[in-house]
């Protein structure tokens, strides 16, 4: 006996299409989740390697790297090049001269190191080099030193990688570069203190003037982000606290904040080289406790 199937009604066709679309959406979400998981793992490894590099730097110089050798000169990333398998680039740099000098400009604009870039942010068609300016072609970084401001002493940072105490000399080079910090100065504990994190960037900043070369200390925003700061009121000139922390969303225009392209979280490497995801909704006051190296607070990471 043969059986004939009834043709699909318009309602049946609509049902089948709906089911297929729903299944496709689920599949796409799963694929996106798998890809993002891999990208996040890569980003985590990038930060861990930077954390390990700071320990190697400390072993060599008995101090943590400085935020910069001087304004317009070299960033903490440049100082750590020998410890991230970039010794050849390091040897080409004249640290006694500004980054924009003729001798150094070629080093800055041709330098490439993929481990300084987050694949979640820089994947696809996102720029991986500065599109204009004097250092056109220079590769940026998606990772910055963690900083705070000491509320008792206006203008003094309480992070781990901070601006140098004394510049390097031509005679002794970087061995004469004096830093304010050592691992011994992190009295809150290495596992309780964030050291390097992802920096917040708007998508339309990428490749532009805010996407500055990783090796160069053109301004503070290029090399650090701040968990909190102190600003002065215009009327009575008294210091007031303005909390900064994690970008509320991808459209937050505050370029002093931390932030990432990972959904809901931002990654930080702590002073013990462990990497932790911190939720974007974490209170700025909590983040500040995690970023200050010596505030006496051993704060537990928020769940």
Q: Which helix (H) or strand (E) holds 200?
A: none
From residue 270, how far is each of 276, 296, 301 by CA, in Å? 8, 16, 11
Q: Could you tell me where the beta strands, DSSP code E, fall in 158-216?
A: 194-198
CA–chain centroid gap for 244, Å, is 15
Kindly give the confidence (pLDDT) of every residue in the chain, 303 residues in length, as a single tens digit, with 9 standing for 90 and above.
Answer: 555 555 657 666 566 556 555 555 555 555 546 789 999 999 999 999 999 999 999 999 999 999 999 888 999 999 999 999 999 999 999 998 999 899 899 999 999 999 999 999 987 667 788 877 778 899 999 999 998 875 555 456 789 999 888 888 878 888 889 998 999 999 999 999 999 999 999 888 888 888 899 999 987 778 888 888 776 655 566 767 777 889 988 889 888 899 999 999 999 999 999 999 999 999 888 898 899 999 888 777 766
Q: For the chain, which residues make up each domain, given as ranges? A: 11-291
Compute CA distances 278 → 82, 197, 233, whole Å: 29, 10, 31
C-alpha to C-alpha distance for 269 and 191, rounded to whole angstroms: 10
Which pLDDT score, from 0 to 100, does residue 15 have?
65
Q: Contact, 267 vs 260, CB < 8 A?
A: yes
By the 10 Å C-beta count (0-12 exposed, 13-18 middle, 19+ buried), 18 is classed as: exposed
């Amino acid at each position: 006996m043969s059986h004939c199937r009834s043709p699909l009604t318009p309602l049946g066709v609509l049902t089948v299409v709906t089911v297929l679309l729903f299944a496709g959406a689920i599949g796409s979400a799963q694929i996106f989740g798998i890809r993002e998981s891999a990208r996040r793992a890569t980003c985590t490894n990038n930060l861990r390697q930077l954390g390990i590099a700071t320990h190697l730097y400390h072993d060599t110089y008995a101090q943590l790297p400085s935020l910069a050798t001087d304004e317009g000169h070299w960033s903490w990333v440049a100082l750590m090049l020998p410890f991230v398998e970039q010794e050849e680039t390091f040897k080409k740099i004249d640290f006694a001269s500004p980054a924009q000098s003729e001798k150094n400009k070629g080093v800055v604009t041709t330098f490439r190191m993929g481990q300084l870039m987050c694949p979640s942010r820089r994947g696809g068609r996102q720029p991986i080099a500065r599109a204009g300016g004097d250092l056109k072609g220079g590769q940026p970084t998606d990772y910055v030193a963690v900083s705070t401001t000491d509320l008792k002493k206006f203008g003094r940072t309480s992070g781990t990688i901070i601006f140098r105490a004394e510049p390097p000399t031509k005679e002794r080079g970087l061995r004469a570069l004096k830093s304010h910090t050592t691992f011994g100065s992190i009295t809150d504990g290495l596992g309780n203190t964030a050291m390097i994190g992802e920096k917040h960037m708007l998508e339309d900043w990428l490749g532009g003037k805010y996407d500055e070369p990783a090796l160069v200390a053109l301004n503070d925003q290029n090399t650090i982000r701040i968990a909190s700061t102190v600003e002065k009121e215009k009327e009575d000139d008294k210091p007031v606290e303005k909390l900064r922390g994690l970008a509320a969303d991808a459209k937050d225009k505050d370029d002093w904040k931390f932030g990432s392209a990972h959904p809901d979280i931002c990654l930080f490497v702590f002073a013990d080289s462990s990497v932790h995801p911190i939720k974007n909704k974490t209170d700025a006051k909590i983040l500040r406790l995690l970023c200050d190296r010596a505030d006496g607070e051993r704060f537990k990471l928020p769940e």
